[in-house]
């Protein structure tokens, strides 16, 4: 089977529908001129051809077929080819039955393909929907064919028949005469009653891939003597969305529009598409979070006549392409896409995570609908771009939780529950075990970080009691109880304690600390404790961060464990074994308010 369309000898400019009739004819559109006349001319429908071929060779020919698929994939054409194959007969009588091998025109071929054979009836169900139309078929089906081998009834858009018309068909479909065959075609298979479907052999005609369409169009361009850029063929093939007829119609229009060589820029202008390179530039600006650059690029495209909806749709298409390239890198080898698209898509696929691409796709999908219904589409499109660029560098919730875990050791129970199952977690430090206390456990880093904040002895007049915070671990424990993972992670990894007293906190910040951290922490403390807190940034060095203290203690435990003779013996017996975590199994020690050395963290070779 070839995917290049009808052979040259069957489709020159003097034939009638590719049948080599030899009579000069006025210009015919490409969709009719290169309409397939045999199974070997069908493109992208290998499964249908194989099934029909096997059925004809074994004599297992059903009484009815139903062909379904999107517009322009060849349903009616396939129905006519089936009718021709059923009635193929040579003048010398050498062909005795149905066959898919039709190298030359038979006795009935020309009339069948031109839809004027008296034994092949074509009916458009969109305009003949009533039971009376079906009754005429039921009455005529009893009579033998006039000249052909079979009477073939081709009913297009069969889903348009009324319920009564379908019911009138059922008995005839179930037990038709031996000389009658039915071929139905529809784009809405779900609207056909199950009682009809069960009596037919169903074929789903698939969309034709863009690269196959490009090859088909390229061969037709050679036959027509038309010079065309490969990128232009790719644009047409993608715009056709798998429809052969649409691709030929667009190619016909592009030839007339160009009046010479068909160029990619002219095809984009004809179809109202944005420049793909500029769409990719817009995508890059959004991925960087550079909203000013994205605004300029969008306005430039809009000023040159690009439709805001089309720009966002092209942007969504490129997001989809990058996503597919990330999942299946071989997708970037598809010649239906330009060289620039393929190269840059590979680059973006390696740099952007799947979650970022998925989030961008969801926002574009929702944004396109908003722009379509907006009174000012350009302004609405700009707001969509603002949203996409604003969240470009923000982590997703599970990524944020994972970052906090990595920066601050083990997280709270809420954080652990939020991480998807199966996600590899970093080695965490031991959690303070206190089943008898209602407080949520928090990590220890040189001190017991699970210390509960103490309730102040006096309550404010007509207000809730205030909390008394006198140590940094109490502050971390409070953030853990409030389930504020961002503040808790910042306290553990971004702050170095200089001084703390109830109502006042003096800290030094790590270079990567958020700029709004001090204000956010002060506001949170006011809410949590019920009193005014002053949070000050100091120039002093301060104590090491809790995370640093935790890592130092963990390293010390691991070094002590590695020095233990029993552990060394295990490591020697099992090559490649590593110490991942050292946990202390001794009972919990009394709580301490100091940030200094914690006796519970002191390594003991007897406690493994």
In 3-state terms, the chain is what percent helix, strand and coil (to 5)? 50, 10, 40
The pLDDT tens digits for 102-149 are 888 888 888 898 888 999 999 888 888 888 888 889 889 989 998 889
Is the pLDDT confidence value at 554 over 70?
A: yes
What 3-state DSSP class applies to 583? coil
Radius of gyration of the chain, Cα coordinates, nearest whole angstrom: 37
**What count of other Cβ atoms lies within 10 Å of the Cβ of residue 213?**
29
Q: How far is CA 204 from the centre of its chain?
A: 23
CATH no. for 219-271: 1.10.8.60
pLDDT tier for residue 459 given thresholds of 50, 70 and 90: very low
Q: How many residues does the chain have?
A: 608
Residue 429 gets which letter from DSSP?
A: P
Backbone angles phi, psi at 124, to 5 degrees: -90, 110
For residues 598, 603, 604, 607, the Cα torsion angle rounded to the nearest 10 degrees is 90
Q: Are residues 451 and 477 in contact, defined by beta-carbon separation less than 8 angstroms?
A: yes
**What count of other Cβ atoms lies within 10 Å of the Cβ of residue 374?**
16
Helical packing angle, 230-240 and 264-271, nearest 10°: 30
- Please give the Cα distance from 35 to 11 (Å, whole number): 9
Q: What is the mean pLDDT of residues 316-331?
A: 90
Domain ranges of the chain: 36-204, 219-271, 276-390, 400-426+439-455+466-545, 548-601
Backbone angles phi, psi at 65, to 5 degrees: -120, 150
pLDDT value of position 399:
63
The pLDDT tens digits for 517-540 are 888 888 888 888 888 888 888 888
Q: What is the mean pLDDT of residues 493-501?
A: 85
* Token pair for 152: 């073939």
DSSP per-residue letters across 348-399: HHHHS-HHHHHHHHHHHHHHHHHHHT-SSHHHHHHHHHHHHHHTTTPPPHHH
Is the pLDDT confidence value at 11 over 50?
A: no
Q: Are residues 233 and 217 in contact, defined by beta-carbon separation less than 8 angstroms?
A: yes
pLDDT value of position 369:
92
3-state secondary structure 469-535: CCCHHHHHHHHHHCCCHHHHHHHHHCEEEEEEECCEEEEEECCCCCCCHHHHHHHHHHHHHCCCCEE
Q: Are residues 83 and 69 in contact, defined by beta-carbon separation less than 8 angstroms?
A: no
pLDDT tier for residue 241 given thresholds of 50, 70 and 90: confident
The pLDDT tens digits for 148-167 are 899 999 999 999 999 898 98
**What count of other Cβ atoms lies within 10 Å of the Cβ of residue 77?**
22
pLDDT value of position 597:
41
Topology adopted by domain 36-204: Rossmann fold (3.40.50)
Sign of CA dihedral 29, 30, 32, 34: positive
Please name which of 319, 332, 321 lies closest in space to residue 368, comparing C-alpha atoms.
319
pLDDT value of position 428:
31
Q: Which segment, 127-131, 217-221, 328-332, is predicted with the most confidence on average?
A: 217-221
Please name which of 331, 344, 342, 335 lies closest in space to residue 230, comparing C-alpha atoms.
335
pLDDT value of position 316:
92
Q: Are residues 453 and 420 in contact, defined by beta-carbon separation less than 8 angstroms?
A: no
% of the chain exceeding 90 in pLDDT: 11
434 or 10, which is more confident?
Answer: 10
- Please give the Cα distance from 259 to 462 (Å, whole number): 86
pLDDT value of position 451:
47
Is the pLDDT confidence value at 211 over 60?
A: yes
pLDDT tier for residue 24 given thresholds of 50, 70 and 90: low
Is the pLDDT confidence value at 3 over 60?
A: no
Q: What is the mean pLDDT of residues 17-42?
A: 71
pLDDT value of position 448:
38
Is the pLDDT confidence value at 401 over 80?
A: no
pLDDT value of position 396:
61
- Please give the Cα distance from 373 to 189 (Å, whole number): 31
The pLDDT tens digits for 339-387 are 778 888 888 888 888 888 888 999 999 999 999 989 999 999 999 999 8
> What phi-psi label fits residue 20: left (phi over 0), alpha (psi between -120 and 50 degrees) or beta?
left
* Token pair for 80: 């006519």
Q: What is the mean pLDDT of residues 23-48?
A: 80
Average pLDDT score over the chain: 77
Q: Angle at the Cα of 125 (from 124 to 127), degrees rounded to 5?
A: 80
Q: How far is CA 53 from the centre of its chain?
A: 36
- Please give the Cα distance from 338 to 234 (Å, whole number): 8
Is the pLDDT confidence value at 603 over 60?
A: no
DSSP per-residue letters across 169-228: HHHHHHS--TTEEEEEEES-GGGS-HHHHTTSEEEEPPPPPHHHHHHHHHHHHHHHT--B
Correct CATH for 276-390 of 3.20.20.70, 3.40.190.10, 1.20.1260.10, 1.20.272.10: 1.20.272.10
- Looking at the DSSP bridge assignments, the partners of residue 185 are 67, 156
CATH topology identical between 36-204 and 219-271: no
Is the pLDDT confidence value at 460 over 60?
A: no
The pLDDT tens digits for 407-452 are 654 444 333 333 333 333 332 332 333 333 333 344 443 343 334 5
Burial environment of residue 198 by CB neighbours within 10 A (0 to 12, 13 to 18, 19 or more): exposed
- Please give the Cα distance from 324 to 320 (Å, whole number): 6
Burial 512-521 (b: 16+ CB within 10 A, else e): ebeeebbebb
pLDDT value of position 392:
66
The residue assigned the tokens 């010479």 is: 260
- Please give the Cα distance from 140 to 156 (Å, whole number): 18
Please name which of 68, 69, 85, 3 lies closest in space to residue 40, comparing C-alpha atoms.
3
250 or 336, which is more confident?
Answer: 250
- Looking at the DSSP bridge assignments, the partners of residue 508 are 496
The pLDDT tens digits for 275-310 are 677 888 899 888 888 888 888 888 888 887 778 998
Q: Are residues 550 and 443 in contact, defined by beta-carbon separation less than 8 angstroms?
A: yes
* Token pair for 341: 């698209």
pLDDT tier for residue 66 given thresholds of 50, 70 and 90: very high
Please name which of 317, 290, 308 lies closest in space to residue 371, comparing C-alpha atoms.
308
């Amino acid at each position: 089977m070839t995917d290049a369309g009808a052979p040259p000898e069957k489709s020159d400019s003097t034939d009638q529908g590719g049948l080599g009739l030899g009579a000069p004819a006025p210009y015919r559109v490409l969709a009719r001129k290169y309409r397939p006349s045999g199974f070997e001319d069908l493109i992208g429908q290998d499964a249908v051809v194989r099934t029909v071929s096997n059925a004809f060779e074994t004599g297992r020919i059903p009484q009815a077929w139903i062909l379904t698929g999107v517009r322009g994939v060849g349903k009616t054409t396939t129905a006519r080819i089936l009718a021709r194959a059923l009635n193929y007969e040579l003048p010398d009588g050498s062909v005795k039955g149905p066959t898919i091998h039709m190298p030359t025109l038979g006795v009935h071929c020309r009339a069948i393909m031109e839809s004027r054979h008296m034994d092949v009836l074509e009916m458009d169900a969109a305009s003949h929907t009533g039971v009376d139309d079906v009754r005429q078929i039921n009455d005529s089906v009893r009579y033998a064919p006039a000249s052909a081998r079979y009477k073939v009834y081709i009913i297009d858009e069969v889903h348009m028949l009324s319920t009564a018309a379908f019911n009138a068909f059922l008995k005839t479909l179930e037990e038709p005469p031996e000389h009658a065959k039915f071929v139905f075609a529809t784009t809405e298979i779900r609207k056909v009653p199950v009682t009809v479907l069960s009596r037919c052999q169903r074929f789903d005609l698939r969309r034709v891939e863009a690269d196959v369409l490009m090859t088909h169009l390229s061969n037709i361009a050679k036959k027509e003597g038309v010079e065309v850029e490969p990128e232009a063929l790719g644009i047409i093939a993608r715009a056709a969305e798998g429809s052969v007829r649409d691709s030929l119609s667009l190619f016909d229009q592009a030839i007339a529009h160009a009046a010479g060589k068909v160029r990619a820029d002219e095809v984009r202008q004809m179809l109202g598409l944005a420049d793909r390179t500029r769409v990719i530039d817009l995508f890059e600006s959004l991925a960087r979070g550079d909203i000013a650059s994205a605004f300029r690029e969008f306005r430039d495209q809009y000023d040159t006549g690009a439709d805001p909806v089309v720009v966002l749709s092209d942007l969504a298409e490129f997001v989809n392409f990058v996503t597919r390239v990330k999942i299946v890198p071989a997708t970037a080898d598809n010649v239906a896409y330009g060289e620039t698209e393929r190269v840059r898509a590979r680059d973006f696929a390696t740099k952007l995570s799947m979650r970022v691409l998925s989030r961008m796709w969801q926002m574009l999908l929702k944004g396109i609908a908003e722009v379509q219904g907006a009174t000012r589409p350009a302004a609405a499109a700009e707001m969509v771009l603002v949203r996409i660029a604003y969240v470009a560098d923000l982590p997703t919730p599970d990524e944020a939780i994972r970052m906090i875990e990595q920066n601050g050791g083990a997280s709270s129970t809420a954080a652990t529950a939020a991480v998807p199952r199966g996600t590899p977690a970093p080695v965490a430090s031991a959690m303070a075990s206190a089943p008898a206390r209602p407080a949520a456990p928090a990590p220890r880093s040189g001190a017991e970080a699970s210390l509960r904040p103490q309730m102040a002895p006096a309550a404010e007049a007509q207000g809730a009691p205030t909390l008394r915070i006198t140590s940094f671990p109490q502050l971390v424990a409070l953030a853990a109880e409030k389930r504020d993972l961002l503040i808790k992670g910042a306290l553990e990894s971004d702050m170095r304690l200089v001084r703390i007293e109830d109502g006042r906190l003096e800290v030094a910040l790590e270079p990567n600390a958020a700029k709004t951290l001090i204000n956010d922490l002060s506001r949170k403390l006011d809410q949590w404790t019920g009193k005014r807190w002053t949070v000050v940034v100091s120039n002093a060095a301060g104590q090491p961060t809790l995370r640093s203290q935790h890592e130092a203690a963990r390293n010390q435990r691991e070094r002590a464990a590695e020095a233990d003779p029993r552990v060394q013996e295990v490591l020697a017996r099992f090559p490649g074994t590593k110490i991942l975590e050292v946990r202390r199994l001794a009972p919990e020690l009394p709580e301490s308010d100091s940030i200094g050395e914690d006796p519970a963290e002191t390594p003991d070779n007897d406690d493994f």
